[in-house]
Amino acid sequence: MPSRATRPPKNTPTVKPLLGISLKVLSALVFTMMSATLKTLTARYPVGEIVFFRSAFALLPLLVWLKWQGDLINAVRTKNVVGHFKRGFIGTSGMYLGFAALTYLPLHEAIAIGYASPLIVVILAALLLNETVRAYRWTAVAVGFVGVLIMLSPYLKVETFAGGLGAGPTLGAICALAGAFCSAGAMIQVRRLTATEKTGAIVFYFFILASALSLFTIPFGWRMPDAPDLALFIVVGFLGGVGQILVTQSYRYADTSVIAPFEYTTMIWALLFGWFVFGDLPTLTMLTGASIVTATGLFIVWREHRIGLLRTKEFQASPQRPGV
């Protein structure tokens, strides 16, 4: 029987990589189901109204989960109201643009263009957080943006602008890319918030602020949903809340470098939903660009993992200071 001194701390999370990966893949499926359900609503309701219901109904599963975790008080306790507002404003803008992209683009294309977000995070981290970005990552980012340009190329032809942007796929592609920039900015703000804020508080205040900010779009034509559509709105919010819980839990059981690559399984689900639900088939151009962006994203994750291992070895090999 192990002695008291050799037992792991009570609150130390158990490392279960397979469970963590399974939760991440499941969260990707849940978020894709949410996006597919949203796409059925974008043709009938303003985007601002969709943002409201998606955020408001996501609070219910989140609060139930926080209560079950015994962490509900931390969801309303904050030391950085201004930081939450910044994250809420940027994140809500990204949500709005992402939902707008779903209005004009096939599901898989909107999601694929959104893969530019991790590449943009690298740039913003260097500019805003003063993180060191070495040549390998800069090269990966450059190659990744080549993939983004390939995906956007069908929408960047001169003839597509001849009659103005209008309400077509080109506008959807621009919204998807702008949404990726906002999502990257929101992630940078989340990194800043984690210095003082609990995860529950970050998610809780985001949903509250997104719901509140979306109310400002009421003058632009909200309409009362009928019973079937209200049920779909509830499903969207519930899936969003559950997806957030699943992705949060996944990082409890495995390292970020292990979990992060499985974010790209959303493309598999998006292709399947797009094909069977909406009858959309991907073009060779889109698949080529998405493959390049996915490969560079995976390379960045692998590179960060390798750097982390090297730093750990260097620390372990360095002579310890007296008394440490």
Q: How far is CA 129 from the centre of its chain?
A: 19
Residue in 218, 243, 236 with CA at minimum distance from that of residue 55 = 236
Q: What is the mean pLDDT of residues 54-81?
A: 85
pLDDT, tens digit, for every residue of 256-272? 666 777 888 888 888 88
pLDDT, tens digit, for every residue of 98-110? 999 999 999 989 9
pLDDT value at 10 more than 70: no
Q: What are the distances in angstroms from CA 152 to CA 96, 244, 283, 285, 307?
A: 20, 29, 12, 9, 32
Contact 222, 46 (CB under 8 A): yes
Taking the C-alpha atoms of 320, 8, 16 and 193 in order, what is their torsion angle to the nearest 10 degrees? -70
- CA 7/CA 293 separation, integer angstroms: 44
Q: What is the largest distance, in Å, between two alpha-carbon atoms of the chain?
A: 77
- Which one-letter amino acid corresponds to residue 93? S
pLDDT, tens digit, for every residue of 174-225? 999 999 999 989 988 888 888 888 878 888 899 999 999 999 999 988 999 9
pLDDT, tens digit, for every residue of 24-48? 889 999 999 999 999 999 889 999 9
